[in-house]
Structure 1
Amino acid sequence: MTAPPPTRPGAGPDESRPALFTAAFVRLSLADLVYFSATGVAIYALPAYVTGPVGSDEAAAGLAFGAFAVTALVLRPFAGRLSDTRGRRPLLVGGALLASVAMFLTAFAETVPLIVALRLLFGAAEAAFFVASFAALADLAPATRMGEALSYNSLGLYLGLTLGPPLGELLVSTIGFTGAWYGAAALLVIAAAVVSSIGETRAPSEAPEAKAPLIHRPALPAALGLLTSILPVGGFLAFAALYARDVGVASSSLPLAVYGLVVVVCRVAFAKVPDRLPALPLGAVSLLVIGVGLGLPAVSATPTGLLIGAALMGLGVSFSTPAFFTAIFATASASQRGAASGTASAMLDVGLGGGPIILGLVAESLGINGAFGVGAAIALTGCLWTLALARRLTTA
């Protein structure tokens, strides 16, 4: 009589439908919600802090806001390697605590260079936490429910970034900027405590490789598909409010609200879909929807065109990220999940940072509708790339 195969962390006794909502999975998702709520507080407070008490201008606020992406992008591959060799828990706890220190010290920063330095520190913290969080998610989620796990877990990020700015506004208006920074720091300490209670998710039998890679090369083709979905989204998030004003939408934030609401609703209502469909074809269809969604306001400069386009963008993104992360993690063994997470999440930095830059340059000469058209072309090109990749893997 043969022994049953070992189960992965988070798997239940029913291998046909292994458990997903384990205590560790719920705690990890809760920690993500708390962590990104603190990030949301900074999204609201930082520009106002730089242009208010610090006494600088919007350009300095933009520099301070985006500085974290530099260290986050550079350090993600190293965070992935450490996650594979040292474990997920040290980076989760350490990243949250380091982010808390950066937020706390911002309350005492009175010059732009010092604030930028603290944002660079926050970027290092985010690289550690974000990469380790995705690797831990891959450890905890059963392989047959990976897409569903990504859908539910990502709600922590989206809800945190949605709830954080109103919380920041409340804190600033009631107890001032110092209270906002202290509040964000306290949230990050709570996030550290929650992830500490999870323990190490990498199974002891999953011995790290002798030299863990910085870049998980097998994941790069699928990661490029992911990038072509994030670049247009980055541009949309940066210019949707400005375009809404140009085309006469009553509330300039409405397209962003529509986009976010569609993502949240679809991630909950259709969480199981990414596990029932092949990952790369689903990613290709998602890119097609993103391309149509961004192309619609490019050719129809009306409130209706922009709002329908925002809804289509949200629909495409609802499935693109779970699809591509599922495809990426499918290329990695248990001891390579940190490297795969670092490789994939670096695309988020490149896309969300590069998308506004690329489409911003286009907008200078062709207008925002022209920039949206280029973004749509990027998504549609990614659709063709992903279909070709899926076909190549099918015939291999």
Structure 2
Amino acid sequence: MARLLTPRFALLTAADLGYFTAMGIAVYALPLYVTGPLHSTNAAAGLAFGAFAISALLLRPFAGRLTDRIGRRPLLLGGTALAATSLALTALAADLPTIIALRLLLGVAEAAFFVAAFAALVDIAPPDRLGEALSLNSLGLYLGLAAGPPLGEVLTQRSFPTAWMTAAVLCLAATAASAFIGETGTPTTTNTKLIHRPAIAPSIALCTSLAAAGGFLAFAALRAQEEGLENTSLPLFLYGATVVVSRAAFAKIPDRLPPLRLGAVALAVIAAGLVLTATPHTLIAGSVVLGLGVTFSTPAFFAAVFATAEPHQRGAASGTASAFIDIGLGGGPILLGVVANASIPAALATGGALAAAGCLWTLRLHRAH
């Protein structure tokens, strides 16, 4: 069996850890900053949270083409450095339009780093262990999302600028890790397309899972306040910790099951988890159930996406799939933010309905495939 745990795999996972810990700090701090010091509404918090998706969505396909043409390393370095700049400037922001502008800048960074990181991972991973590689590499992402909110809570108790500057430093650490990875792909002169069409159908299913999870990320801390939890970052921590532990424990499962079947089951579990978060006194249980569903959803759908791509098309496939990630993570909080203005539990239940619809779509794809 080909070796998976190489130095380059470890460096890429470390870069993910630094970058997504910074994003975890922002996940916790941003809604509270918008509804607190900026005195804006829950809907404004959802808008600010999801604004990055506008620029990221527009640029993902171009980032995919660029990473196939010039390589993965330049986008890894540029994306992390630009994210550090955006987060550092957020420490100086004093109004909602400035916050939204900086979130749009963060979307540019997100497009570059995320697309290049997934393409690099597929380059590095043995083909017959891709699902395992996706599960283990994503530990950096979910450890960051698990550790980031509690760290954000501690930092914001000192000051919001302290939280934003710490997040910027973590992104610079990701830049340093990326610098040592080297180039993983072979730049191509082939006329690559912006959109990898075979990736669209499984990416729609991935989008519904992330729209549902994005609504939870945006409003979990506010829901915890409603429930009277003393530690308002606890649901976010349990969600991230569940994903981390489960992905480590069940890393080999995505390589042993048909990806679309596994994805459909994962979406059903996500829907159940969100219904629990919307139900009185079951927020903690719902956070754990949601984490179990997300454990398998992303590896399953990315395995389905990359199964459609040749090596010189991996950037385009990653760009196409990650564009749907933006629609989900950005559009989900914005859409559910409108509902949350009337009721946060209703917004979370609506996220569950989106995941259930995605489950039906995935079952249809699996039967057709």
Of 384-393 and 271-280, deviating more is 384-393
Amino acid at match of 2:129: R
Unaligned runs of 5+ in 2: none
Query: What's the counterpart of residue 163 of structure 1?
Result: 147
**Conserved? CA contact 1:44–1:168, under 8 Å:** yes
Are 1:231 and 2:211 an aligned pair? yes
Amino acid at match of 2:331: G
Query: What's the counterpart of residue 389 of structure 1?
Result: 365
**Conserved? CA contact 2:65–2:194, under 8 Å:** yes
Change (3 A) 1:66 1:384: closer
Aligned length: 367
**d(CA) in 1 for partners of 2:16, 2:35:** 29
Amino acid at match of 1:117: A
**Conserved? CA contact 1:131–1:338, under 8 Å:** yes
Aligned-residue offset at 1:234: 2.1
Aligned-residue offset at 1:142: 1.2
TM-score, structure 2 length as denominator?
0.87
Are 1:336 and 2:336 an aligned pair? no
**Conserved? CA contact 1:244–1:303, under 8 Å:** no
Query: What's the counterpart of residue 32 of structure 1?
Result: 16
Aligned ranges for residues 1-396 of structure 1 at < 5 Å?
Answer: 17-44=1-28, 56-59=38-41, 64-109=48-93, 113-168=97-152, 170=154, 180-203=163-186, 207-210=188-191, 212-244=192-224, 252-296=232-276, 301-304=279-282, 306-362=283-339, 367-393=343-369
Amino acid at match of 1:197: F
**d(CA) in 2 for partners of 1:314, 1:159:** 12
**d(CA) in 1 for partners of 2:26, 2:189:** 36
TM-score, structure 1 length as denominator?
0.82
Instruction: Look at both structures and tell me which one has the larger radius of gyration over its CA atoms.
Output: 1
Give the CA RMSD over aligned residues: 2.9
- Percent identity between the aligned chains? 60
Aligned-residue offset at 1:219: 0.4
**d(CA) in 1 for partners of 2:172, 2:96:** 25
Select the structure with the greater relative contact order (CA < 8 A; seq sep ≥ 6).
Answer: 2
**Conserved? CA contact 1:249–1:303, under 8 Å:** no
Per-residue Cα deviation, 1:58-97 (whole angstroms, up to 9, x for no partner):
3576655443222112111111111111110110011112
Equivalent residue of 1:18, what SS?
coil
Equivalent residue of 1:58, what SS?
coil
